Amino acid sequence: MANPLEKTETRPITFETAKKNFETIKKKLDARRPKLDEFSAAKGGPFLADEVARDLAWVTTKKKQIFVQGARGVNAEMEEKRLYAEYVFMEMVDSGEFFDNDTVAVMPGSEYDDLNNGADAVVTFCDDDGNVDFAFSVDVKAALTAESENVEKVERLVREKIYSGVGSSVKYFMHKNIETGEVSRRAIEAPNLILWIDPESIKDLMNALSKKEREKTEYDERLLTRFAKQLYGRMTLAIKRSVVEIEVEKRGVNSALSERLKKISNQYSRLAEKVAEYEG
């Protein structure tokens, strides 16, 4: 049976056109990206000014390294699709196509968390009072399968950190209470998932998400519904791999590390329970 994500509309659009249509959404999401200097104690944040300054300097150095790597032949088109894959995921959450029965907030990870913690995007589930219930971060890849090199490599690095008792984190986490409007800034521990999106489907997803509800075609609706189901499935598989391997790793380690691994495993398990509510 043909995959609906591989179909095109009667008048297929180009990636450049999709980017123009998606520009308003991208700007909306970019405006939510946490700014490191707003976490300085001088502005009421949780970190000393010197610590924030060090992180800003690290980001500058890291971005220069990435630029040099790009100049050495990284596929520019694929890198651009990877970038827009992140925004596609975030807009799926923000538009209610994903986790639509919960009160959720989504934002890009700060530049520091994106580069250092693999947090391209951060999804926050809110309780009835608008406070943080729990959160997770996502490292989004433009790839064909879960076994693609860029997916497997990052998953391996995340697991190696977990095995040493270091859970995934978001250092520059920001949340605005939807009831009171109060903004909080702090560091949190949060499960990190590596998700992949077929690069050939990205422009069609961007196009569908750019449309108002009344403008969406039957194809757009099928595309987004199928994609949401794929995301739930991919999240479930990623969580299962993490939890199973953590449980194996707990055997034979000292009690302190075992407790840390148990805490990290519980974080992933809680996320698994939430995804299961939708996947079924």
Q: Annotate the chain with DSSP letters as a single string.
A: ---GGG---SSPPPHHHHHHHHHHHHHHHHTTSPPGGGGBGGGT-SB-HHHHHHHHHHHHHHHHHHHHHHHTT--HHHHHHHHHHHHHHHHHHHTTSSSTTS-EEEEEPPHHHHHHH--SEEEEEE-TTSSEEEEEEEEEEE-SSTTSHHHHHHHHHHHHHHHTT---EEEEEEEE-TTT--EEEEEEE--EEEEEE-GGGHHHHHHHHHS-GGG--HHHHHHHHHHHHHHHHHHHHHHHHHHHHHHHHHTTS-HHHHHHHHHHHHHHHHHHHHHHHHH-
Q: Tell me if 6 is assigned to some domain.
A: no
What pLDDT sits at residue 27?
Answer: 98
Mean pLDDT for 136-151 is: 74
Please write the tens of the pLDDT for every residue from 228-245. 999 999 999 888 887 767
Q: Tell me if 119 is assigned to some domain.
A: yes
Query: Given a cut of 90, is residue 225 above it in pLDDT?
Result: yes
Mean pLDDT for 111-122 is: 95
Q: Tell me if 116 is assigned to some domain.
A: yes
Query: Average pLDDT of the chain?
Result: 88
User: For residue 3, what pLDDT band results from cuts at 50, 70 and 90?
Assistant: low
Q: Tell me if 10 is assigned to some domain.
A: no
Query: Given a cut of 70, is residue 114 above it in pLDDT?
Result: yes
pTM of the full predicted structure? Answer: 0.89
Q: Tell me if 26 is assigned to some domain.
A: yes
User: For residue 144, what pLDDT band results from cuts at 50, 70 and 90?
Assistant: low
Query: Given a cut of 70, is residue 249 above it in pLDDT?
Result: no
Domains: count for the chain = 1
Q: Tell me if 7 is assigned to some domain.
A: no
Q: Tell me if 2 is assigned to some domain.
A: no
What pLDDT sits at residue 11?
Answer: 61
**Tokens for 217?**
């075609």
Mean pLDDT for 209-226 is: 96
Q: Tell me if 3 is assigned to some domain.
A: no
Query: Given a cut of 50, is residue 2 above it in pLDDT?
Result: no
State the residue range of the domain holding 153.
15-278
Distance CA 143, CA 140 (A): 9
Please write the tens of the pLDDT for every residue from 150-207. 667 777 777 777 777 788 899 999 999 988 999 999 999 999 999 989 999 999 999 9
User: For residue 148, what pLDDT band results from cuts at 50, 70 and 90?
Assistant: low
Please write the tens of the pLDDT for every residue from 50-109. 999 999 999 999 999 877 766 555 577 778 898 999 999 999 999 999 999 999 999 999
